[in-house]
A and B are shown apart, each in its own frame.
Chain A
């Protein structure tokens, strides 16, 4: 006997099935969240805000074109780590609690080291709950060499790759005779210092390294004593990996003391540094990076100007082309994997070749390091201030505009890796 007649039962079942199906369809639709773990307060807050603004812009664009997997949206969820490794681990716990499966971080290799270790441990202990770590700026070479991990992907050229390209450019500059190295005293600064010494010795054995300083990260207010030291050494060129205020204050102190050197830098091109240096730096500051706004035949020009139009106050420039690349490649690999499951996405992302705005790039399978073309460029007076007419767009309204010295193809910076990756 039955409480329901056969027909009613079938109808009921069908209705339930439809409802369940509907729920399942709904369950497939939640946004794919990516935790952005970077400084949003404290001394480097401006740097973190810049990345966040650009990433939100990139994600909005991807969502506007229809998202991924035929309609699912991406979302950036900010977590403030105050550039502290300890605080980053606390934030990672929150990320795990909220069941967010992708993280992205860039500022400070010390933070990156802590996160990488924590992500590896978490993934080992929680199969099926893995987290993928997208690194857009922490460039300590170790993370794609001896400390490489299947779960980590680096979209920025690492410190060694940048130095390789920079020294290739410097090798052709015969006016460089005496070089002074000054770097921040932590893993990244050490990496820059080591690479600079090694590569210069290989490519320009005639160049003399006349000084080599390390100073604490973000603690020095007055760089004039360092400048006096550089001056006393007789250097004509300074190489530095400094970023944030450590970069601006250094160049500013040099300008005040009338120090006449060329600065070869990684990070003088944005995040408040051009503003702080001012026009007096024109012609003397060179930068190695994957992008600047005045690149000839710039395929990202429209993106760049669209970003500027809606950019928040204080972060007017488009800085992270590699960020745009990171989001596009993440979307592409989710689509390729036909899943937002981190493990599947990681397998889809490794080895991926992508037609980027500056040419083809590759997420190298052996070490998860993105291989991309780089540019050496100089900050010159902007066209509006009487500089060359190619220097159209200035940085932060500072009157300083980037101008390409050389384009270094992807193979220039590609280096062998000691990575021996274990795959799940």
Chain B
């Protein structure tokens, strides 16, 4: 019972972190049609900025400043890079973000070196939140879950209940009309891309000290967030949320199983299961769990 509860909590909190990581990606895709390969790099930048800021003025300011900085970089990238590339179509955009990911990786190497940096959980959030029988549950994981849920709610509210959200949605379907009404559509896109980057940055602030802040961190989460976006359905925020929780729990619980399959144990193949899920889903339901477009 203890084991089951602990694993369930672990699965949900890991799933929520995955959602933080993938929400920006799916948002940018649904609103701009750009599949941003550099998304995980923005996540890494968030972690490094948070490390830099938190060593100077503390974790709490970093929680706000780092995502804003990453968002600003995202906007600059859209304004001076992506917008120019846009007219050459989706392949060019894809290649652009692909190259950008490498550029950011190298920049991080040059600035912070190739080893891990000492970015720690702040003392206020370090320690056990509660105990389930004998296992401690860390405060930081609770904090992670809180931020993730807050993120989901605020994105949803911003898109459906605010004026800017309505303009964004309208600009996606009828850009000319929206422009004719006097809205600056390119600026809207710039905001959206910056917003997506800022969300990745926020995930970096939280994930960077929960795990390890090092130059390989972008590469290690890159594949899994694409799996989530594909499984959830390209461009569906709710789909990404469900897929994150699903994959988080799938990975967590399969680790616990020592059943044999083909001479291996289930626990041994646990980390590959999400990819298996993605392949199966693409075969049997190409639009994903909640997606609206085919293929």
A contacts with B, residue count (CB < 8 A): 44
Contact check, A229 vs B256: say whether CB atoms are below 8 A apart.
yes
Identity of the chain A residue whose Cβ is nearest the Cβ of B126 in the assembled complex: A280
CB distance from B19 to the nearest CB of A (A): 14
Per the 8 Å Cβ criterion, residues 106-165 of B in contact with A are: 109, 112-118, 120, 128, 131, 134-138, 140-141
A residues within 8 A CB of B181? none
Partner pick for B214 among A214, A222, A272, CB 8 A cutoff: A272
B residues within 8 A CB of A46? 113-116, 214-216
Q: Is A398 on the interface with B (CB-CB < 8 A)?
A: yes
Contact check, A45 vs B138: say whether CB atoms are below 8 A apart.
no
Contact check, A43 vs B220: say whether CB atoms are below 8 A apart.
yes
Identity of the chain A residue whose Cβ is nearest the Cβ of B270 in the assembled complex: A215
Tell me whether chain B's interface is mostly helix, strand or loop, or mixed: helix
Contact check, A276 vs B135: say whether CB atoms are below 8 A apart.
no
A222-B14 contact given A248-B212, A275-B118, CB 8 Å threshold: yes
Q: Is B30 on the interface with A (CB-CB < 8 A)?
A: no
* Stretch of A114-122, A308-316, A329-337, A374-382 that contacts chain B: A308-316
B residues within 8 A CB of A45? 109, 114, 215-216
Contact check, B255 vs A272: say whether CB atoms are below 8 A apart.
no
B residues within 8 A CB of A278? 120
Q: Is B52 on the interface with A (CB-CB < 8 A)?
A: no
Contact check, B252 vs A248: say whether CB atoms are below 8 A apart.
no
Contact with A along B41-81 (1 / 0, CB 8 A): 00000000000000000000000000000000000000000
Contact check, A214 vs B268: say whether CB atoms are below 8 A apart.
yes
A residues within 8 A CB of B137? 257
B residues within 8 A CB of A224? 10, 14, 252
Q: Is A326 on the interface with B (CB-CB < 8 A)?
A: no
Contact check, B212 vs A245: say whether CB atoms are below 8 A apart.
yes
A228-B10 contact given A245-B214, A249-B211, A272-B212, CB 8 Å threshold: yes
B residues within 8 A CB of A248? 116, 212
A222-B115 contact given A43-B216, A256-B141, CB 8 Å threshold: no
- Cα distance A117–B2 in the bound complex, in angstroms: 49
- Cα distance A220–B14 in the bound complex, in angstroms: 12
Per the 8 Å Cβ criterion, residues 218-271 of A in contact with B are: 218-222, 224-226, 228-229, 231-232, 245, 248-249, 252, 256-258, 271
Contact check, B135 vs A256: say whether CB atoms are below 8 A apart.
no
Contact check, B3 vs A276: say whether CB atoms are below 8 A apart.
no
A residues within 8 A CB of B10? 222, 224-225, 228
Per the 8 Å Cβ criterion, residues 385-409 of A in contact with B are: 396-398
A residues within 8 A CB of B267? 213-215, 229
- Cα distance A220–B2 in the bound complex, in angstroms: 23
Q: Is A359 on the interface with B (CB-CB < 8 A)?
A: no
Contact with B along A346-384 (1 / 0, CB 8 A): 000000000000000000000000000000000000000
Q: Is B104 on the interface with A (CB-CB < 8 A)?
A: no
B residues within 8 A CB of A185? 268
CB distance from B134 to the nearest CB of A (A): 8
Q: Is B11 on the interface with A (CB-CB < 8 A)?
A: yes
Contact check, A312 vs B219: say whether CB atoms are below 8 A apart.
no
Partner pick for A257 among B114, B138, B252, CB 8 A cutoff: B138
Contact check, B136 vs A232: say whether CB atoms are below 8 A apart.
no
The 3 closest A-B pairs by CB, nearest first: A314-B113, A258-B136, A43-B216
Point out residues on A near B: beta carbons under 8 Å: 41-46, 49-50, 185, 213-216, 218-222, 224-226, 228-229, 231-232, 245, 248-249, 252, 256-258, 271-272, 275-276, 278, 312-315, 396-398
17 new A-B contacts, CB < 8 A, other than A46-B114, A225-B7, are A42-B216, A46-B214, A215-B255, A221-B220, A222-B252, A224-B14, A225-B255, A228-B10, A229-B256, A231-B135, A245-B220, A248-B116, A252-B211, A257-B136, A276-B116, A312-B113, A396-B115
Point out residues on B near A: beta carbons under 8 Å: 2-3, 6-7, 10-11, 14, 17, 105, 109, 112-118, 120, 128, 131, 134-138, 140-141, 211-212, 214-216, 219-221, 224, 251-253, 255-256, 265, 267-268, 270-272
